[in-house]
């Protein structure tokens, strides 16, 4: 049976992951409206990944004998000053999610829930990758500045992103 504190914290994370998906889908729509279809596609894939992350939490909570509780999802922002601004918000949000995952790891250690700690290690690794990917895009956007050709080329490059193959825990 799942520890009550762990169940509550995992449910909070489940809802944060759904919000992440919602935020990135909003960014996708923003990029689409700016005719940055590659960035839009990149964010759609990101939104789908976040949805899969939420579903991993959902499945784990249930597997451990708990109940997944879906809360209200706050409306995300829907407008940004620039592509750089949107990706900087993405980075800020990913750092928030990283801190949240770290808090879950700490809680799992505190209550000596080794199974949950093991489950969370995938997310620890994932967050390193998430932050690195967004940092690279931010660095590219800063280097490009307002150069429309550079933005065009980066948009095309980001449009080549392919969805990650599903992991067994996501199925």
Tell which residue, 17, 23, 136, 7, has the closest CA to residue 62: 7
The mean pLDDT value for 13-19 works out to 98
pLDDT value of position 165: 77
pTM over 0.85: yes
pLDDT averaged over every residue in the chain: 96
Per-residue pLDDT of 74-117, as tens digits, reads 999 999 999 999 999 999 999 999 999 999 999 999 999 999 99
Please provide the DSSP assignment of 47-83 as one string: HHHHHHHHHHHHHHHHHTT--------PPPP---SSH
pLDDT value of position 14: 98
pLDDT value of position 171: 45
Domain ranges in the chain are 4-164
Helical residues (DSSP H) of 2-36, grouped into ranges: 4-33
> Residues 127-140, buried b or exposed e (16+ Cβ, 10 A)?
beebbebbeebbeb
> Residue 119's CB: how many other CB atoms inside 10 A?
19
Q: Are 51 and 21 in contact (CB under 8 A)?
A: yes
Token pair recorded at residue 115: 């199974």
Conformation bin of residue 111: beta by default, left when phi > 0, alpha when psi is -120 to 50: alpha
pLDDT value of position 164: 82
C-alpha to C-alpha distance for 61 and 131, rounded to whole angstroms? 26
Domain 4-164, CATH: 1.20.1260.10
Q: Max Cα separation, the chain?
A: 56
Residue pointed to by tokens 């049976």:
1
Per-residue pLDDT of 36-55, as tens digits, reads 999 999 999 999 999 999 99
pLDDT value of position 92: 98
């Amino acid at each position: 049976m799942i520890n009550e504190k762990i169940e509550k914290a995992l449910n909070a994370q489940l809802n944060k992951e759904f919000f992440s998906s919602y935020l990135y889908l909003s960014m996708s729509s923003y990029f689409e409206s700016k005719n940055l279809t590659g960035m839009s596609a990149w964010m759609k894939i990101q939104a789908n990944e976040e949805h899969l992350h939420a579903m991993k939490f959902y499945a784990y909570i249930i597997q451990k004998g708990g109940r997944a509780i879906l809360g209200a999802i706050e409306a995300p922002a829907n407008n940004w000053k620039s592509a750089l601004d949107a990706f900087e918000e993405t980075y800020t949000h990913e750092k928030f999610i990283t801190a949240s995952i770290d808090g879950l790891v700490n809680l799992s250690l505190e209550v000596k829930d080794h199974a949950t700690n093991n489950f969370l290690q995938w997310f620890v690794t994932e967050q390193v990758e998430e932050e690195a990917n967004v940092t690279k895009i931010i660095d590219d956007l800063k280097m490009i500045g307002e150069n429309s050709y550079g933005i065009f080329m980066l948009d095309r490059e980001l449009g080549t992103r392919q969805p990650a193959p599903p992991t067994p825990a996501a199925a």
